[in-house]
C-alpha cells in the first residue's frame, strides 16, 4: 500500500462494528535473549499468516517496537479474533504454548493485550498530513471537511449518530 503522505484532512470508516486489539510484549531482562527473542519473532509470523487469510476476519495491523512493543490490530469481530486465538493449525496457539512453557516463569519477558469492541457510530478519527494509517488502512477514508470537519460532526452531533460520508476503498479518499 502507498505510504505517501496525504496532504488532506481525512477520516476513516469501517462498515459495521469491528474490534480494536492491542497486543505487545515488554523485555524485562535484556540479557536473557533466549527467553524474549522467540516471543518477539512470533508476532510477525502471525501477522503474515493473517494477511494471507483475510477470511479469518483480520483487517490490518500497525506495529511499534522498543523495550515495550505494541501491535495495533483491527478485526471484523471478537468471535473471529477468539477463533484465531484457539485455531490449532494457526501460528498463535503454538506461540502461546511456547511462551507458557519456556518464558513465562523466567520473568524476562512480559506479554499483554487489550480488546475493544467498537459499535457503529461510536468512534471517530482524524488524519492530517499522514500516510494511510490505522483505521484508514483497515477501512476506507473520506474527506473530513464541510459537514465532517469536527469530531462532534463526525460522531453525528449530540445524537451520537454517525453521519454516512461517501466512502472509498482502503487508503483512498472519496
Residues 124-161 pLDDT 10s: 999 999 998 999 999 999 888 888 888 888 887 544 44
pTM reported for the whole predicted model: 0.85
Q: What is the pLDDT of residue 148?
A: 87
Q: Average pLDDT over the chain, rounded to whole? A: 89
Instruction: Clarify whether residues 79 and 110 are in a common domain.
Output: yes
Q: What is the pLDDT of residue 58?
A: 98
Q: How many domains does the chain have?
A: 2
Instruction: Clarify whether residues 106 and 127 are in a common domain.
Output: no
Question: What mean pLDDT is predicted for residues 28-51?
Answer: 96
Q: What is the pLDDT of residue 95?
A: 94
Q: What is the pLDDT of residues 92-132, one digit of tens each?
A: 999 999 999 999 999 999 999 999 999 998 999 999 999 98
Beta bridge partner(s), residue 111: 25
Instruction: Clarify whether residues 51 and 95 are in a common domain.
Output: yes
Q: What is the pLDDT of residues 43-68, one digit of tens each?
A: 999 999 999 999 999 999 999 999 99
pLDDT at residue 34 tops 80: yes
Instruction: Clarify whether residues 86 and 131 are in a common domain.
Output: no
pLDDT at residue 172 tops 60: no
* Residue 149: domain span: 6-15+119-155
The alpha carbon of residue 17 and the mean position of all alpha carbons in its chain are separated, in whole angstroms, by 14
Amino acid at each position: 500500500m502507498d505510504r505517501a503522505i496525504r496532504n488532506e484532512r481525512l477520516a476513516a470508516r469501517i462498515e459495521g462494528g469491528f474490534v480494536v486489539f492491542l497486543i505487545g510484549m515488554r523485555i524485562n531482562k535484556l540479557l536473557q535473549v533466549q527467553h524474549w527473542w522467540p516471543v518477539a519473532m512470533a508476532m510477525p509470523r502471525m501477522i503474515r499468516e493473517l494477511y494471507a487469510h483475510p477470511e479469518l476476519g483480520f483487517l490490518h495491523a500497525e506495529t511499534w517496537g522498543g523495550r515495550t512493543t505494541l501491535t495495533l490490530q483491527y478485526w471484523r469481530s471478537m468471535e473471529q479474533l477468539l477463533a484465531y486465538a484457539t485455531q490449532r493449525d494457526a501460528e498463535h496457539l503454538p506461540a502461546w504454548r511456547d511462551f507458557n512453557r519456556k518464558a513465562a516463569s523466567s520473568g524476562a519477558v512480559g506479554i499483554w493485550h487489550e480488546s475493544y469492541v467498537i459499535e457503529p457510530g461510536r468512534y471517530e478519527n482524524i488524519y492530517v498530513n499522514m500516510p494511510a494509517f490505522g483505521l484508514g488502512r483497515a477501512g476506507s477514508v473520506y474527506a473530513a471537511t464541510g459537514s465532517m470537519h469536527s469530531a462532534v460532526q463526525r460522531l453525528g452531533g449530540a445524537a451520537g449518530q454517525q453521519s454516512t460520508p461517501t466512502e472509498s476503498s482502503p487508503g483512498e479518499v472519496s
